[in-house]
């Protein structure tokens, strides 16, 4: 049946090209439907427990998506008239940013003090331009000594300050995040132009959200042209055939357009991980085409007529290409077990691309080869000669290679435990991304961006005024402040202590929690009535006044250090305040857990994929013995790659947790092609295992190293991405593919010769 299909394709070559173009126009129209996701929540499924805890916290209190303006005066003095005037104007103007809910700065900080029997609540800085030197110093002393401000909105040395804008995004349209980011950038430029002696850096969760599509679009502009250039050069050098190169490029282009169009029609949103799909598809499509073209050109070199050589190449490659496309698609489909939706999308898009690449490689490619003039290169290529020499080397040293490869495998796999889980979301971007640079500066000079937040419940309405509850909250705050990883703790108890001191004539000896519940409730009520609109306590106390928000700002610490700290906090709560037990919630906690959750999910997905692929190989190769034997060179490269990664890098995060599933289907490709040629020689030609290995190297060796080289180059180009999830994934995948080729050349042949059976 397939022979009739190929005969029809070659006979109706122009019709095939026309039908392909029409299909492409239909699919490609979906590209207009593509949209970029720009919310960090995209990395978390709806049933993710850390996301659910965070959403519950935000629904109880005010939202805390934010834009943080980090203000640095050139003279290093925040408390100068000009700098305070700039902060004051920035604070006022920041209310105009779309979807702003609250603006906090040192100038509008609600400072309280006693005036006779009255409690005065007012902005810390009211008229910056007319403050005396003594007044400036007084304001500075108040700011750097208030626990609500220092290491949050003012540095301890008062050389950097921040204006924090709380944003409440409606979540109704994708333009909300860019709208906020653009308004913040415009305001930053206006203030810097008006006050030339200050510098402003932008960070915060909204700015991070905006950095996702920015990084993705930068990759599209820089990586795709580079990849196309490298592909063209590689194909020309390896195939020595301009028509073959042009036909392959057409298959690649059509596959990418079709896949992206189909993605648009289905409604999958683009995200930083999915921007890697065209590069992935490009490299996989090349693999199919190269196998067909190498055997086709080899046939023409042997004197076959063009049509006959192409039909023979299609005949001997259809099975292996179909098999490798199927196993690769299964490998990518295993990403549906991922706990991160963008990687599910990546897997589904890549699987669609692999399917399209297969269909086009057996229809459009042969049609184009028949249309374009092709001249046979008579002399044997240097690659073919090298493969014959390599085959003799492997056959001669098969036992030594088996021992050496076994030792290398065990050595590298033993290094896997060196990998440590680390998923700091700021490090998803490299230093060239403005958000990353601004955030690093903020962490070094003002405050941290990593948070752990709790909703501490008193268990009764109005319970936040209970002295016993407040003492427990204060003790929890004191414990956290004693931890070396902590920069700042924001708690209602600091406000209560300040109010108690104010109501006792600003006597410092009264800077402690009130001892009577009704007194605490009166202080809190009086304070809330005195606060201006937009600066109330809704972000710290729930409506029933039964629970309070407790926020801990951390230094830039690793995921494991973060999880250890939170575990110690839970232990403290269990031992000292079990009735206040509450899980830590924040984007930081979400990202800290996602890598671990994803690794467990992908272990399940990869296992299922491995079982399916193994069953397919056993059926397709018609040999249980050979099918089981092929598992070794398929699994070994992944283990070796992670071991090598443990020696070189030692950090594994969200992106790397999907590499095993991604590469499983890809590394099977080389094994399948080698085994198919080996078994064909054994079964059809009655060759011995050594001669069958020679035949496999001679017929498919060149194609294997060419396709592996192209795959490695393609994924290595991903390593140049400014988005670390893509760059790490690309580099580890390239390493895995390289080790897979190494295993298929130096490990699989000795296995086949020594354990592959004696009789054809």
Using DSSP bridges, classify how beta strands 420-421 and 651-652 pair: parallel, antiparallel or unpaired.
parallel
CA distance 748 to 545: 69
DSSP code of residue 37: -
Mean pLDDT across the chain: 88
Secondary structure of residue 652 in the 3-state scheme: strand
Mean pLDDT of 601-609: 85
pLDDT band of 377, cuts 50, 70, 90: low
Mean pLDDT of 203-212: 90
State the pairing for strand pair 198-203/65-73.
antiparallel
Q: Stretch 13-35: mean pLDDT, rounded?
A: 91
* CA neighbor of 723 nearest in space, from 713, 731, 734: 731
Sequence-distant (6+) residues with CB within 8 A of 39 are 177, 209
Type and span of the H or E element at 553: strand 547-554
What residue ranges do the domains of the chain occupy? 1-33+240-379, 62-209, 381-414+587-760, 451-586
User: Can you tell me the mean pLDDT for 83-112?
Assistant: 94
Dump pLDDT digits (tens) for 387-417: 888 889 999 998 999 899 989 999 999 998 8
Instruction: Give residue-wise pLDDT tens across range 630-689.
Output: 778 888 898 899 999 989 888 887 777 778 877 877 788 788 888 888 888 888 788 888
pLDDT at 230 over 50: yes
Interval 268-289 mean pLDDT? 84
* Percent of all residues in the chain with a pLDDT value above 70, rounded to a whole number: 98
DSSP one-letter string for 425-443 = GGGGB-TTSHHHHHHHHHH
If one looks up domain 62-209 in CATH, what number appears? 3.30.70.1430
Which residues, 6 or more positions from 315, have their beta carbon under 8 angstroms from its beta carbon?
2, 3, 6
* CA-based torsion, 526, 530, 532, 535: positive or negative: negative
Look at residue 384 and tell me whether its pLDDT is greater than 70. Answer: no
Which phi-psi region, left, alpha or beta, contains residue 116 (left: φ > 0; alpha: ψ -120 to 50)? left
pLDDT exceeds cutoff 50 at 760: no
CATH of 381-414+587-760, one of 1.10.1200.10, 1.20.1640.10, 3.20.20.80, 3.40.630.30: 1.20.1640.10
Residue-level pLDDT at 382: 55
Distance CA 579, CA 590 (A): 24
Top-confidence range, 242-246, 402-406, 473-477: 473-477
Q: Name the fold adopted by 1-33+240-379.
A: Multidrug efflux transporter AcrB transmembrane fold (1.20.1640)
One fold for 62-209 and 381-414+587-760: no
- The C-alpha angle 296, 299, 302, rounded to 5 degrees, equals 155
Name the CA radius of gyration of the chain, rounded. Answer: 32
Q: Is the pTM of this model over 0.85?
A: no
C-alpha pair distances (Å), 618 with each of 622, 672, 747 = 6, 11, 19
Higher pLDDT, 385 or 557: 557
SS (H, E, C) 40-58: HHHHCCCCCHHHHHHHHHH
pLDDT over threshold 70, residue 379: no
For residue 502, what are the CA distances in angstroms to 471, 506, 742?
Answer: 19, 4, 75
Give the model's pLDDT for residue 95. 95
Is the pLDDT at 270 greater than 80, yes or no? yes
Token duo for residue 420:
């440590």
């Amino acid at each position: 049946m397939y022979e009739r299909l190929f005969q029809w394709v070659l006979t109706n070559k122009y019709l095939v090209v026309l039908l392909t173009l029409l299909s492409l126009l239909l699919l490609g129209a979906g590209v207009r439907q593509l949209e970029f996701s720009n919310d960090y929540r995209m990395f978390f499924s709806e049933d993710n427990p850390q996301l659910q805890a965070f959403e519950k916290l935000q629904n109880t209190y005010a939202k805390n998506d934010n834009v943080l303006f980090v203000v640095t005066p050139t003279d290093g003095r925040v408390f100068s008239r000009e700098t305070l005037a700039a902060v004051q104007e920035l604070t006022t103007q920041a209310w105009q940013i779309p979807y702003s809910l609250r603006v906090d700065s040192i100038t509008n900080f609600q400072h309280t003090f006693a005036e006779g029997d009255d409690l005065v609540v007012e902005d810390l800085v009211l008229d910056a331009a007319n403050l005396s030197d003594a007044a400036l110093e007084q304001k500075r002393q108040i700011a750097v000594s208030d626990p609500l401000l220092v290491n949050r909105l003012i540095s301890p040395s008062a050389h950097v300050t921040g204006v924090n804008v709380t944003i409440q995004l409606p979540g109704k349209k994708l333009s909300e995040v860019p709208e906020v980011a653009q308004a913040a950038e415009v305001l930053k430029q206006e203030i810097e132009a008006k006050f030339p002696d200050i510098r402003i850096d932008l960070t915060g969760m909204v700015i991070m959200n905006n950095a996702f599509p920015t990084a993705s679009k930068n990759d599209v502009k820089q990586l795709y042209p580079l990849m196309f250039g490298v592909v063209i050069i590689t194909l020309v050098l390896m195939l020595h055939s301009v028509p073959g190169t042009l036909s392959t490029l057409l298959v690649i282009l059509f596959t990418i357009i079709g896949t992206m169009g189909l993605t648009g029609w289905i409604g999958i949103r683009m995200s930083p991980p999915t921007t890697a799909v065209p590069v992935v598809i490009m490299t996989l499509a090349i693999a199919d085409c190269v196998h067909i073209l190498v055997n086709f050109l080899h046939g023409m070199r042997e004197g076959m007529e063009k049509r006959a050589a192409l039909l023979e190449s299609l005949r001997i490659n259809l099975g292996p290409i179909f098999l490798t496309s199927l196993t690769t698609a299964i490998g990518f489909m295993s990403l549906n077990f991922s706990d991160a939706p963008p990687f599910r999308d990546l897997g589904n898009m890549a699987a669609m691309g692999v399917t399209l690449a297969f269909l086009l490689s057996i229809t459009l490619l042969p049609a184009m080869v028949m249309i374009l003039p092709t001249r046979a290169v008579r002399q044997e290529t240097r690659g073919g000669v090298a493969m014959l020499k390599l085959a003799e080397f492997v056959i001669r040293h098969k036992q030594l290679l088996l021992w050496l490869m076994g030792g290398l495998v065990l050595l590298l796999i033993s290094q896997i435990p060196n990998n440590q889980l680390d998923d700091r979301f700021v490090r998803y971007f490299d230093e060239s991304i403005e958000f990353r640079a601004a955030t690093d500066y903020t962490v070094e000079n003002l405050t941290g961006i990593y948070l752990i937040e709790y909703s501490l419940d008193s268990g009764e309405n109005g319970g936040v005024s209970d002295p016993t509850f407040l003492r427990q909250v204060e003790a929890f705050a004191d414990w956290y402040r004693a931890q070396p990883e902590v920069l700042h703790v924001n708690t209602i108890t600091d406000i209560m202590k300040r109010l108690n001191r104010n109501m006792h004539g600003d006597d410092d000896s009264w800077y402690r929690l009130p001892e009577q519940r009704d007194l605490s409730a009166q202080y809190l009520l009086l304070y809330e009535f005195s606060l201006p609109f937009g600066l109330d306590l809704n972000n710290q106390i729930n409506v029933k006044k039964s629970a309070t928000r407790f926020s801990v700002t951390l230094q830039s610490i690793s995921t494991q250090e973060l999880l250890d700290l939170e575990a110690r906090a839970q232990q403290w709560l269990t031992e000292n305040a079990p009735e206040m037990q509450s899980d830590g919630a924040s984007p930081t906690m979400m990202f800290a857990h996602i890598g671990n959750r994803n690794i467990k999910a992908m272990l399940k997905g990869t296992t299922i994929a491995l079982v399916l692929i193994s069953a397919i190989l056993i059926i397709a190769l018609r040999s249980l013995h050979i099918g089981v034997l092929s598992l070794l060179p398929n699994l070994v490269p992944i283990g070796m790659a992670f071991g090598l990664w443990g020696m070189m890098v030692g950090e594994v995060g969200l992106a790397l947790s999907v590499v095993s599933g991604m590469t499983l289907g890809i590394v099977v490709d080389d094994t399948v092609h080698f085994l198919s040629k080996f078994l064909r020689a054994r079964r059809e030609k009655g060759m011995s295992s050594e001669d069958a290995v020679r035949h496999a190297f001679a017929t498919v060796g060149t194609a294997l190293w060419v396709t592996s080289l192209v795959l490695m180059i393609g994924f290595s180009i991903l390593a140049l991405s400014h988005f670390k999830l893509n760059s790490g994934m690309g580099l580890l995948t390239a390493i895995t593919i390289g080790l897979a080729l190494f295993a298929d050349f130096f490990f699989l042949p000795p296995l086949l010769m020594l354990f592959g059976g004696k009789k054809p």
